[in-house]
Amino acid sequence: MNSSWVSTLDNLPRVGTVLAPTPLDPAVNLSDALGVEVWFKRDDLTGRGFGGNKVRTVEYLLGHALAEGHDCVVTGAGPQSNWAMLSALTATMAGLEPHLIYYGDPQPAAGNQLLAEISGACIRWTGEVDRTSLDPVLNKVARELIDSGRSPCVIPRGGATPLGCLGYVRGAIELTSQLVEHGIEATSIWLATGSCGTQAGLISGLTVLDADLPVIGVATSRTPTESAERVATLAAGTLALLGDRRNAPEPIVVGGFIGEGYGIPSDAGRWAAELVARTEGVFLDPVFGAKAMAALIEYARRDLIKGPLVYLVTGGAPTVLTK
Ligand SMILES: Cc1ncc(COP(=O)(O)O)c(C=O)c1O
């Protein structure tokens, strides 16, 4: 391994939120049903809250906030956001007061919003349904906090920054060593892509490892083109942060599985989540994981993929109970 990116990864401040390694498990019954060998990387078992990919995302972001002497964090999303809840939960654990901005109007607490309240989040609402409405509010709230003598660290929606992506650089290292351990020559990794940080982190990690393993994101929130551009930008930023000159491969993002829109469960996703629950005993969330699995199933049906492949289970359990 090139020691420079390894030492950057090891030396940048990070909070140890992840219970790693998460299992890499053969999805035997699902593989039989699909006729394609599928392995589950169980990042729904990352160990805080009800698990999920964002537990990896926060590690370096909160480490940075603490190292810079901040005493609170400001971030946001929709009230059922896994990101918002998990960042609030882990911030509180790390001694940073979490401030969450939700778009829309106040809702009765349920699911992730309820868990965010239990986690100690100070919550405000933008009053506008458009999710971009919260971006200016993050800075406004940060200014108010500064005026009241606090030191806030603003983190963009989804934690999608090069620093946030480092969590999945570590995830890629963990996964590739498990693939070697199990003797699996994986053909691809499949996952749901939203704010794009998870896919960008994985791609960056595989790039520094010189591992030729395609990462296939399924667009769940933006168009495939916009998602691919964001993944590329984030991956370039992540590699720059690691001081690595290699270029990440062109991101692959599959479209056609969002259904009616971001956050709205789709029929194909519902069917896919039921299949996975009934074959593997794993619940996929309706917003991200179920739609990514619907894409994988469709590609298997059309004989467009071959195994063994890895499906990243990204968590989101609280929304299974609220949608
Ligand atoms: C359960 C779940 N899966 C997948 C994703 C997509 O990850 P990213 O936003 O890093 O693209 C998210 C994002 O919030 C998520 O909550």
Domains of the chain by residue range: 4-53+160-320, 69-154
Q: Which strands form 97-102's sheet, in the order they lie side by side? A: 122-125, 97-102, 72-77, 152-154
Q: Are 29 and 279 contacting, i.e. CB atoms less than 8 angstroms apart?
A: yes
What is the Cα–Cα distance from 273 to 271, expressed in whole angstroms? 6
What is the Cα–Cα distance from 20 to 157, expressed in whole angstroms? 24
Q: Are 193 and 215 contacting, i.e. CB atoms less than 8 angstroms apart?
A: no
User: pLDDT tens track of the chain, all 323 residues?
Assistant: 556 899 999 999 999 999 999 999 999 999 999 999 999 999 999 999 999 999 999 999 999 999 999 999 999 999 999 999 999 999 999 999 999 999 999 999 999 999 999 999 999 999 998 888 888 999 999 999 999 999 999 999 999 999 999 999 999 999 999 999 999 999 999 999 999 999 999 999 999 999 999 999 999 999 999 999 999 999 999 999 999 999 999 999 999 999 999 999 999 999 999 999 999 999 999 999 999 999 999 999 999 999 999 999 999 999 999 85
β-pair type (122-125, 252-254): unpaired
**Amino acid at position 227, single letter:** S
| Topology match between the domains 4-53+160-320 and 69-154 | yes
Rounded to the nearest angstrom, the distance between the alpha carbon of 241 and the centre of ligand 1 is: 22
78 close to ligand 1 (CB < 6 Angstrom) = no
Write the CA distances from 291 to 22, 173, 264, 315, integer angstroms: 22, 26, 10, 13
196 close to ligand 1 (CB < 6 Angstrom) = yes
| Matching CATH number, 69-154, of 3.30.70.120, 3.40.630.10, 3.40.50.300, 3.40.50.1100 | 3.40.50.1100
What is the Cα–Cα distance from 158 to 94, expressed in whole angstroms? 19
Fold for the domain defined by 4-53+160-320: Rossmann fold (3.40.50)
The closest-lying atom of ligand 1 relative to the alpha carbon of residue 289 is 3
Give catalytic residues, as residue numbers: 81
Rounded to the nearest angstrom, the distance between the alpha carbon of 53 and the centre of ligand 1 is: 7
Q: Are 84 and 77 contacting, i.e. CB atoms less than 8 angstroms apart?
A: yes
Q: Which of 58, 195, 204, 311 is the pocket-test mutation for ligand 1 (most atoms within 8 Å of CB)? A: 195
* pLDDT for position 177: 98
* pLDDT for position 323: 57
- Closest to 102 measured CA to CA, from 66, 129, 62, 64: 129
**Paired strand residues for 98:** 73
